[in-house]
Structure 1
Amino acid sequence: MAGGTQSDDDIAAEWEAALSEQGGPAAADSADWNASAEPPSARKAVDRVLNQDEVDGLLGFDPNALGLADQSGIRAIIDSALVSYERLPMLEIVFDRLVRLLTTSLRNFTSDNVEVSLDGIKSVRFGDYLNSIPLPAILSVFKAEQWDGFGLMTVDSALTYSIIDVLLGGRNASVKMKVEGRPYTTIETSIVQRMVEVVLEDAEAAFRPVTPVSFSFDRLETNPKFATITRPANAAILVTLRVDMEERGGVIHIAIPYATIEPIRDVLMQQFMGEKFGRDATWEGHLATEIWAARTEVHAVLYDQRLPLKTILDLDVGDTLMLDVKPDALVELRCGDEVLTHARMGRSGEKVAIQIAAPLRPSRTTLAAFEAAGQIRKEAS
């Protein structure tokens, strides 16, 4: 062929020669390659083609998923940097407490056997969560007054119809309830709103040991586009609560943007309830007691002058250093490099003494701890 390229026959001949040199079963298949109408290189390319399922598995994409399942492959690598945020241990404790409170409250609300469980807490992008909400669903927007932020609570259709069925006297059917695509009626939205208010009341009680907060109901929406409370790219915490009522039940999703809980982020980073990041009265009292009993050296400095190193090296026997100080000048009382107060030089019997001429400089710490330590010492003695 012109241009130095090989024809298909030449490629086939080289392939047959390579197989014949290897011998064995591979050589027996050379006739099949020669009989083939297409070149071996083209057949190899056809054998490497992946089907759609294999491509979806490689990319970690499932068209039937709602976006809430664990992802893998290249999609997980892309999304991991977008929703990877610090862990908040105290938040898990708060929602565990919410599960216990909500179990009792929903039992009283429905007069039925209700079990609430925590399916998980994860970080998601708010826009991805809105796009993954299965419709129909009721979305409730609530406001955290002290945090000056909003949250979103989603009640899926299965739980909505289950609550309505229980409260309006429906029988307990073992068959799966059919989800209708019609809009919700006023009675249905009123019942769900009342249930949402019950959940918000328990959420306030769950957060109370950590920080006081008031969750106020804002509005109900059935279209996710009208329930946007933050930018779609912002991260949010998604809490999934499963409510089971014997053969019925559903899921409640609580989405709280990270911007909403930012005022209490330091508190939520605690490892356990009551962990202290600031003042500790017990340690303060112990430290004050030890400082009160510690021994330290105090120096009375009559005169202090800084000289160049060259002047000091040139000093010789008989040289005189002039002290620029008067006879009635005050001396400094120092503890290390800290100046405590000033005093006057004098004599008491056979010893040189000083008389305090000014009060001590105020301490940078409060004296409450030292007073408490002194009281403890008096009681101990």
Structure 2
Amino acid sequence: MMQSHHSPITDRLLDAAGTSIERLPMLPIIFDRMARVFADTMRQRAASPCYVSVSYIGNDRIGDVLDANEANALAAVVYTPEWDTRLLIGFDRDFIFSMMEVMYGSDGSEPPIDDERPFSNIETRVARSLFNDAIKCLEDAFKSISDITLKFERIETRMDFAVIGRRNNTAVVGRLLMQAIGRGGEMFVMVPHTALTPLRQNLAQVVSGEGNHRDKGWTQQFQAEIQRTHVDLEAVLEEKSITLDELANLKVGDVLQLQATPRSKITLQCNDQSLFTCSIGQADGSYCLKVDDFIHQEEDIFDDILSS
């Protein structure tokens, strides 16, 4: 018997498809709000108007984002105790140079800075101040679904040290485009999926006043169709590690020794994700499995799914 405190198996099977932005309609709303609040904050600090808009929201590998910004950005590592995880906010070179000009009174008449040099101390200090503003804006943007506290930890100039999770893991990445005095630059926000796991239900429901109401009939039909979807299950008796050399030398007739016995637990998997532990038996001349327990690996499963 399944216990009521367990999440439905349909939720677990749906998780195997990963998390798409379309399934979390509150995410674009949160990033839009962050862009709007950050623009309002910059207008109070700069003589020239600043415009901030969301240019991209998607799922990217952490390592790919860091590699793309190596030697071209400053990144702030931010810790949130409520989620017990770290986020990343980054400013690219054009963003920092443009904000330096705007905040110190430039009117855009001179050519933009085109320099690959390291960031100066004053540029890093200004970036730190802007990071604090961005952190407050992100806090404010999440208020409609979760009260969180974002704590600035440090600035990294090398993306190798700005890792907030395994490089192969996937994170939600929002890119915000800033425009002022004919200049432009980009801010990026990276939120690991482990942080969003407990918020998925809230992110999937548009808060009243934040967006269009969903069609209840269509939602019910969509859920019914999803529940009729066929999935493939795999029963794993044992996994064995061998070297590539041993694999290359295997030939017909070779025997692989296993440690498993008829009393060993079987792992039932879907899409390479472990769902249940089972016992093996026989019925009507065929092997069968009895589900014994759930495998409690929600966060690890979510990580592995999104990095696959």
The answer to whether the 8 A contact 1:134-1:156 is kept is no
Runs of 5+ consecutive residues of structure 2 not aligned to the other structure = 1-15, 211-308
Alpha-carbon deviations, 1:167-191, whole Å to 9, x = none?
Answer: 233342363431x222222211110
- State the alpha-carbon separation in 2 of the partners of residues 134 and 113 from structure 1: 29
| Structure-2-length-normalised TM-score | 0.59
The answer to whether the 8 A contact 2:102-2:181 is kept is no
What is the aligned counterpart of 2:117 among 182, 206, 209? Answer: 182
Correspondence for 2:66: 130
- State the alpha-carbon separation in 2 of the partners of residues 83 and 105 from structure 1: 38
Equivalent position SS for 1:184:
coil
RMSD of Structure 2 on Structure 1 (CA): 2.1
Correspondence for 1:155: 91
Correspondence for 1:88: 24
Rg comparison, structure with higher value: 1
What is the aligned counterpart of 1:257 among 188, 192, 203? Answer: 192
Correspondence for 1:219: 154
- State the alpha-carbon separation in 1 of the partners of residues 109 and 157 from structure 2: 27
**Does residue 105 in structure 1 map to residue 41 in structure 2?**
yes
- State the alpha-carbon separation in 2 of the partners of residues 169 and 274 from structure 1: 38
- State the alpha-carbon separation in 2 of the partners of residues 100 and 170 from structure 1: 23
- State the alpha-carbon separation in 1 of the partners of residues 208 and 169 from structure 2: 28
- State the alpha-carbon separation in 2 of the partners of residues 143 and 233 from structure 1: 20
TM-superposed deviation, 1:134: 5.0
What is the aligned counterpart of 2:55 among 119, 122, 127? Answer: 119
Alpha-carbon deviations, 1:55-85, whole Å to 9, x = none?
Answer: xxxxxxxxxxxxxxxxxxxxxxxxxxx9952
What is the aligned counterpart of 2:169 among 199, 215, 234? Answer: 234
The answer to whether the 8 A contact 2:156-2:162 is kept is yes
Runs of 5+ consecutive residues of structure 1 not aligned to the other structure = 1-81, 276-381
AA paired with 2:49?
N
Alpha-carbon deviations, 1:211-245, whole Å to 9, x = none?
Answer: 10111111001101000110011110010000101
What is the aligned counterpart of 1:247 among 182, 186, 190? Answer: 182
TM-superposed deviation, 1:123: 0.3
Alpha-carbon deviations, 1:239-258, whole Å to 9, x = none?
Answer: 00001013112000111110
Alpha-carbon deviations, 1:329-356, whole Å to 9, x = none?
Answer: xxxxxxxxxxxxxxxxxxxxxxxxxxxx
- State the alpha-carbon separation in 2 of the partners of residues 230 and 198 from structure 1: 24
Q: How many residues align?
A: 193
- State the alpha-carbon separation in 2 of the partners of residues 153 and 274 from structure 1: 28
The answer to whether the 8 A contact 2:70-2:159 is kept is no
Equivalent position SS for 2:195:
coil
The answer to whether the 8 A contact 2:72-2:93 is kept is yes
Correspondence for 1:40: none
The answer to whether the 8 A contact 1:83-1:124 is kept is no
**Does residue 207 in structure 1 map to residue 119 in structure 2?**
no
- State the alpha-carbon separation in 1 of the partners of residues 102 and 207 from structure 2: 38
| Structure-1-length-normalised TM-score | 0.48
- The 5 Å alignment of 1:265-280 reads 265-273=200-208
TM-superposed deviation, 1:91: 1.2
Correspondence for 1:195: 130
- State the alpha-carbon separation in 1 of the partners of residues 17 and 156 from structure 2: 26
- State the alpha-carbon separation in 2 of the partners of residues 262 and 110 from structure 1: 37
Equivalent position SS for 2:102:
helix
Alpha-carbon deviations, 1:79-121, whole Å to 9, x = none?
Answer: xxx9952331111111121122111111112232010111021
Equivalent position SS for 1:93:
helix
AA paired with 2:205?
Q
AA paired with 2:206?
Q
Task: Say which structure is richer in helix.
Answer: 1
The answer to whether the 8 A contact 2:62-2:169 is kept is yes
**Does residue 166 in structure 1 map to residue 102 in structure 2?**
yes
- State the alpha-carbon separation in 2 of the partners of residues 121 and 146 from structure 1: 23
The answer to whether the 8 A contact 1:174-1:247 is kept is no
Equivalent position SS for 1:267:
helix
CA gap 1:247/1:233 in 2 versus in 1, 3 angstroms: same
- State the alpha-carbon separation in 2 of the partners of residues 152 and 136 from structure 1: 15
CA gap 1:91/1:106 in 2 versus in 1, 3 angstroms: same
- State the alpha-carbon separation in 2 of the partners of residues 190 and 110 from structure 1: 16
Correspondence for 1:365: none
- State the alpha-carbon separation in 2 of the partners of residues 267 and 94 from structure 1: 12
Range 115-124 or range 125-134, more displaced = 125-134
Correspondence for 2:79: 143
Equivalent position SS for 1:189:
helix
